Structure 1
Amino acid sequence: MNGFTIWRSIRRRGLFLGTVPETAAARKSSTPLTLDHDLDVLPEAGRRLTVSELADHVDDLAGRLWSAGIRPGRHIAIYKAANFDVWVLATAAARIGAVPVMLSPALDGATVGALLRRLDQPALLTDLHKLDALADVPVMDLADPVITVSGDRPGAVSLAGLAGAPRVEPVSRPKDEPALITHTSGTTGLPKLVVHTPRSMAARLKPQWWLLSLMRKRETVAIHISFVHSRMFAAMALALLKELPVLLMKESDPDKVAAFFVEYRPGFIEALPNSLMEWECLTEDPRKPFASVKYFSSTFDAIHPRTMSRLVDSSERRGALYFQIYGQSEVGPAVGRAYVRKSAHRADGRCVGWAMPGCAKVRVVSRDGSRPSETNPGFIEVAWEGLAKTYLAEQDRYDANRFGDWWRTGDVGYRTRRGCLHMLDREVDMIPGVRSALEVEDVLLSRLEELSELVVVRGRKSEAVPVICTHDDRPVDQGRWRKAVADFPQLADPIQIPQAELPRTATLKVQRVALARRFGEQPTSN
């Protein structure tokens, strides 16, 4: 099938995750995938695969899961160490019609136990290390069967012991039935389980399917995002079906990342915004790890202009650009915009872009009866086929954010006369007297290069407290700080902490509510 035929089939049937590798292999079996780590479930597979070999591994593991008792429609929670085999195993489960439930390895045992209870006796696919982390959780009562990727544990089934199991025919899920479950960040409590369908997952491919179609040649794509996030499944489907060579990255250490990029020279990088921020130091690396990159892309969070500018400037490709997409787990990619070398340094970090033709619709709704504006931001809402179906076992919470066809994102902002969406803050993070905490962060990060991270949170008395981190945890120069914040008198004195102490989600977002709670219990000066 050619690209148009594949896209037409996906739009008609929905995205069937279980046959993505097989479909890609039928188009070009030799497309390479390169990993910076070994697969826990298939350590003998090595770090260099063709898409044909990937498809065979998925088929093999699907047969093993079937032999372990997994059947169509069954929830199978996947909770194991971060590794690309998380995607491989989920795809294998989807191939036999099961519904993979992706649980971040960053979740603690108590949270996983609560989610297993919500799933009501799912299967659990895990590893021995995570089983140890669940020592205080009655796993064998909450999940059946319990399956390990390797190694033996009483009461559990080992996938390694099922090698050579008979292959089985793929089983499709109905277009509007659950096909994948991910979870929210859990910044305000127990994570919500977000239900995706073949229809919603197919719709989410459209914005970047057409963007990738604009590339004049096939580029090697480096992917560094959470293996359990819904975006990982979209990114892999796009790369494989577009026959693009893929670099799959678990490593985030800048020096190791630089060596990997120098060896394989990607032309396209999709990474978490905070990973790209961590890699800013590589823009001055004499090895020039970003020299080959023409396209940088990120979702999840709006990214700071300083980071975009440095990355694009470090490319030696003509026409290099940064494409930012704004969205969330429940809505997928909603709006986006591109920044080029000449404009990235002047970017307004709060401008997250425009709705893409034929994709999501976006509106801003008043919070107080007055027209939304820059000084009176409204609720950002999104409508299209890409909306998640529900929150598993929490329909009331889902319905509270659904207004007919529209989903309320929880963010507040406004639209300019040209229609550009500006996202100012999460509603729960708004601080009295501060137009946008995110905007303050953008400005100060551009003024103080020694800062590696800055998060403005609400303090004990509702004041704006800047929590700062520096490169190598060096003390901040108080004179430089006072000069930089002179036009932000609403800011309290800064609190400096080691960057390693920032509470983060699986996608490396800072957990602002947790940070605010921490510093709301003590004086706001250091």
Structure 2
Amino acid sequence: MKGSTAYRSIQKRGLHIGLLPEMAAAVNPRTPITLDHDLDALPEAGRRLTVAQYADHVDDLAARLWAAGVRPEEHVALYKTANADHWMLAAAVSRIGAVVVNLSPALDAETVAVLLERLQQPTLLTDGPKLDTLDAAALADRTRRVITSAFDRPGAISLAGLAGSPRVRPVVRDLDAAAVITHTSGTTGIPKLVVHTARTQGVRLIPQWRLLRALRGSEPVAIHVPFVHSRMVAAMSLALLRQYPVLLLRESDPAAVAEQLLEHRPVLLEALPNSLMEWEHLADDPRGPFSSVKVFSSTFDAIHPATMSRLLGASDRRGALFFQIYGQSEVGPAVGRAYFRSSAHKANGRCVGWPMPHGAARIRVVSRDGRTPGEDNPGRIEVAWPGIAKTYHGEQDRYDANRDGQWWGTGDVGYRTRLGCLHLLDREIDMIPGVKSSLEIEDVVLGRLPELSELVVVKGPDSGAVPVICTLDDQPLDPARWRRAAAEFPQLADPVQIPQAELPRTATLKVQRLALARRFEQPPQPRT
């Protein structure tokens, strides 16, 4: 089977992650997958696999889950320590026709309990460390059974004890049935459970498949994305079907990342925006850990131009580019744009791109007040295409409230230029009176102060704009340098510096702005 044949099959029949490893093995069984950590559920597997071995492990885990009693159409909540075996277990759940619910290991026990109750007696697939954080009585009331992927625990079924179970035939669910459930970031409260189908997952691959034609040959691609996120489905599917050797990174420590990049020399690096910000100082490493990268890629949040420029400057590849995709779990990739070495430092970080070609999403900006949306009067950003998630599990009313026919409200505000570029200014809930765009302020000031590792402008108790700053190694910031850098933004209060470790973050490292804003009980004093 050729990769293009497999891709056409997905276009027609949808993307079933339980079948993906087997399809990829049929394309090229020798495609390598390398990990920077051991698999908890399969410690004997090692850190270097072929796709054929990967597919066999998924089939083996599916057999064990079947022997544990999991059956088609059941919900299986997968909540375990971050590890690449999460994605393998998710594929195994899907392979036997059950619906995997990916829960981030960053979620606290109380939130997990609420989501388990919403799922109405799911199977919980976990590991010892995570199981120990959960309330046993609550689990007894809210789950059908508990399975551990590693570590034995009383009252739980251990997958390790089911090794060698008879293999079972895959179960293929309907194209529009629930296939995978992920969750939103939870920046404003309990996360919503986002339901994806084989159709919606397959549709999302279409524009990205053609964009990858820019990469030729079979150089490695490095992926540093949360294993639980819907983006992981697309990233793994695209890489395996196009036969790219894959380096799956779990560790985020810059020194460890540098060693992996130097050893494997990837041509493409996909990572979270905040991870790239944490790593950007590696651009100064004389060994050149980024020198092999031709394409840097990021989704989830818009990334600061200064970071893009620094990364591109560290690449030795001709035509190196940074490709940014704007989207969210509910809609997948909405718009994108490429930034190049010669111009990234001059880019407007609020311009997140244009609709991608080849059957991608459509975008519109809707007025919030009856006036035409524009730079000084942003409108609501909406998306339409068949890749939009099917529903919020257990919260159909909340889902319906976000839809206007075929159009989905992203919750973001912005405008489109005469050339059609979508400018993202803020989340609507985060807008601050008198501030055109908090994100724009952050772009500008971060570009002027390289000693800053993070800047977040949040709403204070009197609706003023409070800049919260973090610095490299938590060193004190020179007040005079701050005043010069922020001089054009007199609406800002004096900055509040906190250790970076104290920033409240989501599973995808987004700063939880509302939680951060709640830290300020006294009104800030405007700068004079």
Give the aligned partner of residue 20 of structure 2. Answer: 20
Give the aligned partner of residue 431 of structure 1. Answer: 432
Report SS of the residue matched to 2:151. coil
Report SS of the residue matched to 1:424. strand
Mapped partners of 1:504, 1:217: distance in 2: 37
Report SS of the residue matched to 1:425. strand
Q: Verify the 8 A CA contact 1:109 1:137 in the aligned structure 2.
A: no
Aligned amino acid, residue 353 of structure 1: G
Give the aligned partner of residue 504 of structure 1. Answer: 505
In the TM superposition, residue 2 of structure 1 has moved relative to its aligned partner by 2.1
Give the aligned partner of residue 471 of structure 1. Answer: 472
1:375 aligns with 2:357: no
Structure 1 residues 167 and 426: CA distance shift in structure 2, 3 A = same
Which digits, 9 at most, give the CA deviation of each residue in 1:162-208, with x for residues without a partner? 00000001111101110000000111111100000000000111121
Indicate the larger mover: 141-150 or 461-470: 141-150
Give the aligned partner of residue 462 of structure 2. Answer: 461
Mapped partners of 1:262, 1:384: distance in 2: 40
Q: Verify the 8 A CA contact 1:113 1:137 in the aligned structure 2.
A: no
Which digits, 9 at most, give the CA deviation of each residue in 1:75-103, with x for residues without a partner? 00000000000000000000111100000
Mapped partners of 1:181, 1:44: distance in 2: 29
Give the aligned partner of residue 43 of structure 2. Answer: 43
In the TM superposition, residue 3 of structure 1 has moved relative to its aligned partner by 2.8
User: After the TM superposition, which residues 475-494 of structure 1 pair with which residues of structure 2 at under 5 Å, given as runs?
Assistant: 475-494=476-495
Structure 1 residues 145 and 377: CA distance shift in structure 2, 3 A = same
Which digits, 9 at most, give the CA deviation of each residue in 1:249-303, with x for residues without a partner? 1100001100111111111000000000000110001111000000000000000
Indicate the larger mover: 3-12 or 80-89: 3-12
Give unpaired runs (5+ residues) of structure 1.
none
Give the aligned partner of residue 420 of structure 1. Answer: 421
Structure 1 residues 137 and 508: CA distance shift in structure 2, 3 A = farther
Q: Verify the 8 A CA contact 2:465 2:491 in the aligned structure 1.
A: yes
Give the aligned partner of residue 260 of structure 1. Answer: 260
Report SS of the residue matched to 1:411. strand
Structure 1 residues 478 and 24: CA distance shift in structure 2, 3 A = same
Give the aligned partner of residue 206 of structure 1. Answer: 206
User: After the TM superposition, which residues 239-254 of structure 1 pair with which residues of structure 2 at under 5 Å, given as runs?
Assistant: 239-254=239-254
In the TM superposition, residue 4 of structure 1 has moved relative to its aligned partner by 2.6
Structure 1 residues 137 and 36: CA distance shift in structure 2, 3 A = farther
Which digits, 9 at most, give the CA deviation of each residue in 1:296-342, with x for residues without a partner? 00000000001100001100000000000000000000000000111
Mapped partners of 1:137, 1:63: distance in 2: 29
Report SS of the residue matched to 1:352. strand
Indicate the larger mover: 37-46 or 137-146: 137-146
Structure 1 residues 66 and 460: CA distance shift in structure 2, 3 A = same
Give the aligned partner of residue 278 of structure 2. Answer: 278
Aligned amino acid, residue 366 of structure 2: V
Which digits, 9 at most, give the CA deviation of each residue in 1:335-361, with x for residues without a partner? 000001111111100000000122100
Mapped partners of 1:438, 1:270: distance in 2: 22
Indicate the larger mover: 121-130 or 211-220: 211-220
Q: Verify the 8 A CA contact 1:28 1:243 in the aligned structure 2.
A: yes
Aligned amino acid, residue 184 of structure 1: T
Give the aligned partner of residue 103 of structure 2. Answer: 103
Aligned amino acid, residue 408 of structure 1: G
Which digits, 9 at most, give the CA deviation of each residue in 1:438-492, with x for residues without a partner? 0000000000010000000000110000000000000000000011111100000
Moved over 6 A (4+): none
Give the aligned partner of residue 133 of structure 1. Answer: 133
Give the aligned partner of residue 231 of structure 1. Answer: 231
Mapped partners of 2:475, 2:275: distance in 1: 20
Give the aligned partner of residue 299 of structure 1. Answer: 299
Give the aligned partner of residue 397 of structure 1. Answer: 398
Q: Verify the 8 A CA contact 1:109 1:136 in the aligned structure 2.
A: no
Report SS of the residue matched to 2:19. helix
Q: Verify the 8 A CA contact 1:110 1:137 in the aligned structure 2.
A: no
Report SS of the residue matched to 1:316. coil
Q: Verify the 8 A CA contact 2:77 2:123 in the aligned structure 1.
A: yes
Indicate the larger mover: 148-157 or 247-256: 148-157
Report SS of the residue matched to 2:153. coil
Q: Verify the 8 A CA contact 1:494 1:524 in the aligned structure 2.
A: no
Q: Verify the 8 A CA contact 2:462 2:523 in the aligned structure 1.
A: no
Report SS of the residue matched to 1:141. helix
Report SS of the residue matched to 1:199. helix
In the TM superposition, residue 523 of structure 1 has moved relative to its aligned partner by 4.4
Aligned amino acid, residue 22 of structure 2: E
Mapped partners of 2:18, 2:495: distance in 1: 49
Mapped partners of 1:431, 1:136: distance in 2: 43
Q: Verify the 8 A CA contact 1:495 1:525 in the aligned structure 2.
A: no
Give unpaired runs (5+ residues) of structure 2.
none
Mapped partners of 2:352, 2:25: distance in 1: 36
Indicate the larger mover: 150-159 or 169-178: 150-159
Mapped partners of 2:424, 2:218: distance in 1: 33
Computed over aligned residues only, the root mean square deviation of the Cα atoms, in angstroms, reads 1.0
User: After the TM superposition, which residues 75-86 of structure 1 pair with which residues of structure 2 at under 5 Å, given as runs?
Assistant: 75-86=75-86
Aligned amino acid, residue 135 of structure 2: A
Q: Verify the 8 A CA contact 1:140 1:155 in the aligned structure 2.
A: no
Aligned amino acid, residue 316 of structure 1: D
Give the aligned partner of residue 524 of structure 2. Answer: 524
Aligned amino acid, residue 495 of structure 2: P
Q: Verify the 8 A CA contact 2:3 2:243 in the aligned structure 1.
A: no
Aligned amino acid, residue 202 of structure 1: G
Which digits, 9 at most, give the CA deviation of each residue in 1:422-441, with x for residues without a partner? 00000000000000000000
Give the aligned partner of residue 339 of structure 1. Answer: 339
Mapped partners of 1:282, 1:33: distance in 2: 24
Give the aligned partner of residue 116 of structure 1. Answer: 116
Report SS of the residue matched to 1:270. strand
Give the aligned partner of residue 68 of structure 1. Answer: 68
Mapped partners of 1:421, 1:322: distance in 2: 17
Give the aligned partner of residue 58 of structure 2. Answer: 58
Mapped partners of 2:514, 2:455: distance in 1: 15
Which digits, 9 at most, give the CA deviation of each residue in 1:18-68, with x for residues without a partner? 011111111111110110000000011000000000000000000000001
Mapped partners of 2:39, 2:97: distance in 1: 23
Q: Verify the 8 A CA contact 1:75 1:98 in the aligned structure 2.
A: yes
Q: Verify the 8 A CA contact 2:7 2:241 in the aligned structure 1.
A: no
Aligned amino acid, residue 381 of structure 1: E
